[in-house]
Amino acid sequence: MTVTNSPTIISRQAWGANPLVTPAGAIATPTLDLWLHHTGGAGSGAGYMRSLQQGALRGGYVDLEYTLVVDNRDGAIYMSRGPGRNTAATGGSTGGVANNARSHAICAMGNFENETPTPALLDGIASCVLWLAAQRAIATPVITGPHTDAPGNATACCGRNLIAQIGAINQRAAGGGGGTAPAPAPDTGGGPLTAIASPQRGNPAGRTPTARPVPALGAILLENGAALSGDKPSGANRVWTSSDAAVQAAGNKLLDIAPTIGADGRPDGRGVVALFDLGNNQVGTYTLPWS
């Protein structure tokens, strides 16, 4: 398959969706979070979509829970609730807002505790990511992490074998994007990220960071093996979350972390954190004690 921001998406009519009595409510976009799920069961194709929707309706949901669903057999992408709609996929809340109302959700058909994700599935999910970004439904073309990493969720979803591939999916998305270019990025004040890219020589984990353009931010996203106290990597190992109260208050979405360097050229025990501020839609920096 080709990773593209304009993939073929099988419409609700084409897969035989049940007409909706009450469509899912609208949410503010772009969202900063995009969580990855799996169905946890076996199935494929339009028939599986219909049975998933029937199960959701029987369970009291207004519709199939996710934004988009991708088939592990062939990477086919199915429209579920679509962008800009409240999901019923990711419990818990972040910053006092229900995760379902401040994120989108892609679901892979299968149980990836046992099954192996196909290359077609990975490409299909990557194309979903790019398409959602092109629709301005998500702020950055990356999967935030697996369902289990969403605050307040205790689950194995989206299964260990797929969780292990989230970094690869994000790389596919970063390398793809054929077709029409995404809409121009808003001015989000991306300057601070380039400003902190230089002190990487003090990275105590010794990993080499990789600069990447983040179109929706107009900024630089760095892979970084370093961590501040309480940090934990997402499945993507690129976007980090933090337990620090100051960071959480600003949106808990770290883009990069780096130790600061003292006058003697050595790490001074502090670190600079760059993050995307949910409240202000801006990139900001914080200086925190280093772990």
Binding site for Zn ion (CB under 5 A): 37, 147, 157
Nearer to Zn ion, 166 or 217 (CB): 166
Helix segments in the chain, DSSP class H = 12-15, 45-58, 119-134, 160-163, 166-175, 191-195, 245-249
**DSSP β-ladder status, 232-233 and 240-241:** antiparallel
Largest CA distance in the chain: 67
Least distance from Zn ion to the Cβ atom of residue 147, Å: 3
Least distance from Zn ion to the Cβ atom of residue 37, Å: 3
Nearer to Zn ion, 90 or 203 (CB): 90
Least distance from Zn ion to the Cβ atom of residue 5, Å: 24
The closest of 164, 167, 159 to 115, measured between CA atoms, is: 159
Peptide bond between residue 213 and the one before it cis (omega within 30 degrees of 0): no
Least distance from Zn ion to the Cβ atom of residue 275, Å: 25
Nearer to Zn ion, 157 or 273 (CB): 157
Nearer to Zn ion, 81 or 147 (CB): 147
Least distance from Zn ion to the Cβ atom of residue 213, Å: 30
Nearer to Zn ion, 37 or 238 (CB): 37
Identity of the residue numbered 132 = L
DSSP state of 59: T
Q: How many CB atoms lie within 10 A of CB 21?
A: 8
How far is residue 120's CA from residue 73's CA, in Å, rounded to a whole number?
A: 7
